[in-house]
Chains A and B, each alone.
Chain A
Amino acid sequence: MEEKKNLSQKEISRRSFLKGAGIASVGAVIATTASVDIKADTKNDSDVIGKNGISCEFDVNGKKYAQKVPPRTTLAELLREDLNLTGTKVVCDRGACGACTVIVDGKSVCSCMTLAIDSAGKKIETIEGLANGDELHPLQEAFVNHDALQCGFCTPGMVMSCKNLLDHNAQPTLPEVRKAVSGNLCRCGTYPHVFKAVMDVSGKKGE
């Protein structure tokens, strides 16, 4: 078994040696032949949206926006670039940090891993929609009072995850709060104050 393993591995690396490429795709740096085959928007197929996209209606924080979006546009890009709602942050751009968290149809999602086109017609809530004019949402108020933020870059996503929790569970336990923000990374290490803020708000709700 052991010997066979060695053989097969050796065989593979020998072939790679003959190809003369340690990391074969370094060649990709030298030149790319990726001729992007830009087809005309395939409108003949009624189900298929072309690369240039279509005009959609978005409901963000109760406000309607008409916007043309190419399919590849993420919800985060739509919010930040097209609608100028820059409260939603993009940090890892891969769904690992939660900075881009928004609520779509009552569920928290990473807007960096959600296509804008999929959110058309749905109810999108972002950090900008929480306060009522000058009056902060109780959760936002608790974040400020408990100093549940430092540099503030994770804060919009963190607040949205907590809001999503409280929307579904008005009086969470501490472990539930911890779990609810387990997809939100804070590099300043502000979690203990986030826990306090959420517990504080839920306490008020219970009164």
Chain B
Amino acid sequence: MNSFEYAMPKRTADVFRALESSDSIIKAGGIDVLDLIKEGIAHPQRLVNINSIDELKYIEGNQTTGVKIGPGTTLAELASSEVLSGSYRALAQAAGSTATPQIRNSATLGGSLCQRPRCWYFRNKDYHCTRKGGFTCFAVNGENENHAIFENDFGCVMVHPSTTAVALIALGAKLTIASAKSSREILVEDFFVTPRENMHRENILEQGEIITAIHLPPAAKNMVSYYYKQKAKQSFDWPIAEVAVSMQLDGKKCQNPRVALGAAAPVPMRSKEAESALNNQEVTIDIAASVGKEAMKKATPLSQNKYKVHIFQAVIKRTVCWASDIDPFA
């Protein structure tokens, strides 16, 4: 790793001052940032460690009031949180399925949302890809088995690596983003930036801004949720397809569904097609299967990843079933 200075603010207010120095990067759990530095992708002159800020670590509230989560909360804490065991369980499931037990003990929710691409070209210093200011997305005509099947027609075909974002989008979560001067709220689904909008960033955070809170809205009546990740390996592996679903279930009747897909596009995305196929339906295996098919209708797979379309169909079907307490294999 290159040498860097280290700021260890104790309060959120101190973060902004520490960030004023150019070439500074925020570090939370450090898993992503240290990887980038070790790979020679990032060369920060200063790390601003927000993991030392205790006021960013909390889970507050309940299903009635909504839940507020500090960005410094670790994935392990989310996975075992009582508060997240009911209607919000998709988030606990997503957090608990990420990476390895050791990494879940270090990685934070805020850090999980702000990861840089895990594309194997991006993480290799010898490839100067579009995201690093180059002119070629090497995956488009290269090794793209793990890459996007949506939103892959403009300059970068990576899939966004945030698993927690998929669950948060399904749960309709919002973020508070703060800078030294102001703060704003934004839906998680609007936080991410597609390559079409801007190739050089993955989210809307400006230099000097940080996420200060994550909000889950109060759970609607009879709201259920579920998250599932399909991997090739059952031990540590990146997902082939991940799906989070939330909906209100009146008996088996589904209302206001939200379906989010991860490992599908350069951003964690909502599938409006899936949602409209599911809305106002009595959930059955067949309906769930048709939701999967609808969701994939507009997929545009690359040369090596057509298989992901099949897998998404199955995983969407199953996740909808599991959310509705139906055995998809019955």
Contacts and interface: CB of A to CB of B under 8 A. Distances in A.
Q: Do A and B come from one complex?
A: yes
A179 to B, nearest CB: 7
A36 B3 contact: yes
Contacts of B35: 94-95, 113
B154 A8 contact: yes
Given A8-B154, A118-B49, A183-B236, A95 B31 contact: yes
Contacts of B125: 25, 28
Contacts, number: 149
A74, A179, A180, A182: residue with the most chain B Cβ atoms closer than 10 Å: A182
Nearest to A117: B6
Contacts of A113: 30-31, 34-35, 103, 106
B2 interface: yes
Contacts of A117: 6, 8
Interface residues of B, number: 54
A187 interface: no
Contact of B153 (A8, A16, A26): A8
Contacts of A63: none
Interface residues of A, number: 56
Contacts of B136: 12-13, 16
Contact of A183 (B100, B126, B138, B152): B100
A4 B45 CA distance: 41
A138 interface: no
Interface in A88-112: 93-96, 98, 101, 107-110
Nearest to A70: B3
Interface stretch (B127-135, B218-226, B276-284): B127-135
B4 interface: yes
- Interface residues of chain B: helix, strand, loop or mixed (majority): loop
A71 B103 contact: no
Contact of B127 (A23, A36, A37): A23
Contacts of A93: 38
A111 to B, nearest CB: 9
A113 B326 CA distance: 41
A71 B47 contact: yes
Contact of B102 (A47, A49, A98, A179): A98
B18 to A, nearest CB: 6
Contact of A15 (B52, B135, B141): B135
B47 A95 contact: no
Contacts of A71: 3-6, 47
A52 to B, nearest CB: 8
Contact of A36 (B2, B49, B102, B138): B2
B166 interface: no
A202 interface: no
A62 B69 CA distance: 34
Which 5 residue pairs spanning A and B have beta carbons closest together?
A: A183-B100, A71-B6, A24-B128, A5-B153, A16-B135
Interface of B: 1-9, 14, 17-18, 21, 30-31, 34-35, 37-38, 43, 45-47, 49, 51-52, 76, 99-103, 105-106, 125-128, 130, 134-138, 140-141, 152-155, 234-236, 300
24 contacts: A5-B152, A5-B300, A9-B153, A12-B140, A13-B141, A21-B128, A24-B134, A28-B125, A36-B3, A41-B5, A47-B14, A47-B17, A48-B18, A71-B5, A72-B2, A72-B37, A94-B38, A95-B35, A96-B100, A107-B105, A108-B105, A109-B106, A114-B30, A182-B101
